[in-house]
Amino acid sequence: MVEFVSRRKIIAETLEELEKIAHHKLELMCIAADETKAHDIRALDVRGQTPLADYFVICTGTSVTHIKSIAENVQDKLREESKVRAKPQGGAESFWIILDYGDVILHIFDEETRGFYDLERLWSEAIPIDWNSAAEENKEVSTAAPN
């Protein structure tokens, strides 16, 4: 019985750690998109609704060049800070790039394509995540002066 309890505890701790890693990737992704002036950044918790991912991030670029730069900045930030890589799917020329990081998927659209596919409506049961609050908390902690 003790062995069963410790295995459950190890599994629970592992799942908790994986959740923290996924949430950290989500925050980095949103911050990187925001740094490149992505518009209308939305983070959605889709756990339990799809086996594809735990989170979706959806944002809008204003041009092909802007969409590419958002994708590149997100890839650079996650590669540097989380040591993870994603191969882009789609292309800026198609007005939709997807960066799949397994547990977090980023969709970068132009405005018209985003409106056409309307992922927010499709995933309307998803729980919106206020990534700004978490990002601000992390910024305050990292920029706080030592006592």
34, 59, 45, 43: which is closest to 139 by C-alpha? 34
**Which residues are CB-neighbours of 104 under 8 A, at least 6 positions away?**
22, 25, 26, 29, 53, 54, 55, 56, 57
Q: Is 88 helix (H, G, I), strand (E, B) or coil?
A: strand
**Average pLDDT, integer, range 128-141:** 64
Model pTM greater than 0.85? no
pLDDT grade, residue 38 (50/70/90)? very high
Kindly report the CATH class assigned to 2-137: alpha beta
pLDDT band at 135 (very low <50, low <70, confident <90, very high): low
Which run of H or E residues covers position 3?
A: helix 2-35
